[in-house]
Amino acid sequence: MSKFAVLGHGVVGSGTVELFLKNRELINSRQGTDLELGYILDIREFPGLSYSDKFTKDINDILNDDEVTVVAEVMGGVNPAFDFVLSCLNRGKSVCTSNKELVAKKGAELIAAAKAHNCSFLFEASTGGAIPIIHPMYTSLAGNEITAVCGILNGTTNYILTQMIENGTPFDKALSEAQAKGYAEKDPTADIEGHDANRKICILSSLAFGRHVYPDWVHCEGISNITAEDAAYAKSNGYAVKLIGSVKKLPDGKILPMVAPRFVPLSCQLAFVSDVFNGIMVYGNGFDEVMMYGKGAGKLPTASAVLGDIIECAKADGTILSCTWEDSADNSFIADHKDDTVRMYVRCSGSSTQDIEAAFGSVDFIKADGINGETAFITAAMPEKDIDAALEGLCSRVINTIRLLG
């Protein structure tokens, strides 16, 4: 029998238990496993559940039980999750986690600990919810050099933007709905300000390029300054507004990871990824491009990925499954986004266009239904630092800027 433990009985933890109990016979017969739920660690009380006897408040019950070979960490946050995960790995127990903050901040160390103790550290659920994205990057796509990854990596903000733009729902109401549906982080600032997407692009960057990318090294913007007017300009001119996490390898060998809202052209499939769904494009030198799509947040979609990792570990029977990346001493391999060439949407007060053309040269002026008495335009492609310099001359007029994707 393979016993597994679940650390944390929150949204994802309770979903993992629920999905396992619902599908236990199917899983064990199809997968040839003999998986059983051993423990659930949580300091809270959960009376009246059919599996109430599984709860413990003491991590040592799990650490000291040799029958527990796999542990799912679904608590979130770095502390105490890091200590618990490291203790499990040091005892040779494989760990599966949905905790993107833990992987983004401590992934290199935990991968090394798993290797040192002949067990696995898996984190499919940390990025893209139910979408299989982590495994394909180091298995099915492993014969390629990955050149870029670009996607919608946060379900909460995508849900909010969809509700605001498609249904005219106010921001606060859309956020409350996302919280009620179990999509948002405990502190939803992490979603809104892009920190959650940042952690996920760090994980994908580390995986794609083999060196740990820490969140502090990544330029990160959220969606808090996106307005209905910006969405109207986008819609009237063939774009969707999306929070995009991206990383690309540059000709000089550096990589450029970043998180920011983008005008996404309707020619790109990411423009049609709505609601809580995530979509992730991966580019490589053999397969060219693949796109993965699915529910990026929520109880059972995330539990699905956790449970998949648990089953894989149970089947592996001592084989180390973890992917590999090395820790990074410094961020000298990360490029400055201000040197990147982009096109920028700019919204200005006033209707004069002469100073705009004087500063930027040729631009595309755009209109939006129902908006008058102001000016919006899209620049030609140029280094972002040159756009900043041109914007300085207009500064009192500038209302907002958003980069284009592509």
Can you give the binding site for ligand HSE, defined by CB under 6 A?
A: 129, 154-156, 183-185, 191, 196, 296-297
Catalytic residue (one of 3, 100, 106, 200): 200
Minimum Å gap between C-beta 169 and ligand HSE is 17
Q: Alpha-carbon torsion 81, 84, 89, 93, what sign?
A: negative
Relative to beta strand 146-152, strand 341-342 is unpaired
Q: Using CB atoms within 10 A of its CB, is residue 48 exposed (0-12), middle (13-18) or buried (19+)? A: exposed
Q: Looking at beta carbons only, is 182 or 257 nearer to ligand HSE?
A: 182
How many residues in the chain? 406
**Residue with Cβ nearer ligand HSE (101 or 230):** 101
Among 152, 198, 157, which residue's Cα sits nearest to residue 178? 157
What six digits make up the tokens of 309?
């990792």
Instruction: Please identify the residue of the shown chain whose CB is closest to the bound ligand HSE.
Output: 156
Shortest distance, position 183 Cβ to ligand HSE, whole Å: 5
Strand 55-56 relative to strand 35-41: parallel, antiparallel, unpaired? parallel
For the bound state, the minimum distance from the C-beta of residue 286 to ligand HSE, rounded and expressed in Å, comes to 29
Q: Is 115 a catalytic residue?
A: no
Instruction: Specify the residue, 40 or 192, whose C-beta has the smaller distance to ligand HSE.
Output: 192
Q: Which two tokens stand for residue 9?
A: 């009985």
Distance (Å, whole) CA 22 – CA 396: 59
Pair type for strands 255-265 and 239-249: antiparallel
HSE-up (13 A, CA, CB side) for residue 346: 30
Q: How far is the CB of 211 from ligand HSE (least distance, A)?
A: 23
Q: Are 107 and 82 in contact (CB under 8 A)?
A: no
CA angle (26, 30, 297) in 5-degree steps:
65
Whose Cβ is closer to ligand HSE: residue 124's or residue 191's? Answer: 191
- Is the dihedral angle over the CA atoms 70, 111, 202, 268 positive or is it negative? negative
The structure tokens 């109401």 sit at: 173
Nearer to ligand HSE, 196 or 221 (CB): 196
**174 phi and psi angles, rounded to 5 deg:** -60, -40
Tell me the C-alpha distance between 294 and 128, whole Å.
8
Q: Could you tell me the smallest distance in angstroms from the CB atom of residue 281 to ligand HSE?
A: 17
Tell me whether residue 88 or residue 161 sits nearer to ligand HSE (CB atom).
Answer: 161
Q: What's the closest the beta carbon of residue 117 comes to ligand HSE, in angstroms?
A: 27
The DSSP string of 220-257 is E--STT--HHHHHHHHHTTEEEEEEEEEEE-TTS-EEE
DSSP 52: G
What is the DSSP code (8-state) at residue 322?
-
CB 185, min distance to ligand HSE, A: 5
Strands (E), 107-192: 121-122, 146-152
For ligand HSE, which is the closer residue by CB, 240 or 314? Answer: 240
Q: 3-class DSSP state for residue 183?
A: coil
> Cβ of residue 30: shortest distance to ligand HSE, in angstroms?
27
Closest to ligand HSE by CB, 270 vs 378, is 270
Indicate which residues carry an active-site annotation: 200
